[in-house]
């Protein structure tokens, strides 16, 4: 019986180490940034690795077009691109910790 308790203790320690590593990876993601863009770079967005949008830059060229709908579509496309890139970065960093496993409660 004591063997199974020892194994359970080992599993608990491994889970605690994994949780700590995940917490560290999440902290790193809050500091990491990626850039999304649209319209050949006339709209650029900086997004943190945790998915938060940090900034949006719109060039004078995009503003001169004076077409609100096109500008709105460019901003939306750039934000989506940035969030998608941040999501991929997050998946890459977190999968290094979990070994590619999708563990509910850890991600």
Q: Is residue 82 part of a domain?
A: yes
* Residue 32 belongs to domain with CATH number: 3.30.1310.10
Q: Is residue 48 part of a domain?
A: yes
Burial category of 46 from C-beta neighbours within 10 Å (exposed 0-12, middle 13-18, buried 19 and up): middle
Helix (H/G/I), strand (E/B), else coil: 105: coil
Q: Is residue 105 part of a domain?
A: no
Q: Is residue 106 part of a domain?
A: no
Host domain of residue 76: 2-98
For residues 24 and 92, give the distance between their C-alpha atoms in angstroms, rounded to a whole number.
14
Domain total in the chain: 1
pTM of the complete model: 0.75
Q: Is residue 60 part of a domain?
A: yes
Q: Is residue 107 part of a domain?
A: no
pLDDT in tens, 68-95: 999 999 999 999 999 999 999 988 888 8
For residues 64 and 53, give the distance between their C-alpha atoms in angstroms, rounded to a whole number.
24
């Amino acid at each position: 019986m004591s063997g199974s308790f020892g194994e359970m203790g080992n599993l608990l320690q491994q889970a605690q180490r994994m949780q700590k590593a995940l917490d560290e990876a999440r902290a790193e993601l809050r500091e990491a940034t990626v850039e999304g863009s649209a319209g050949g770079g006339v709209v650029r967005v900086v997004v943190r690795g945790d998915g938060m949008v940090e900034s949006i830059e719109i060039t004078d060229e995009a503003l001169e077009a004076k077409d609100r709908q096109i500008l709105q579509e460019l901003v939306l496309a750039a934000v989506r691109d940035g969030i998608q890139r941040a999501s991929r970065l997050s998946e890459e960093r977190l999968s290094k910790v979990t070994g590619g496993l999708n563990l509910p409660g850890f991600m």
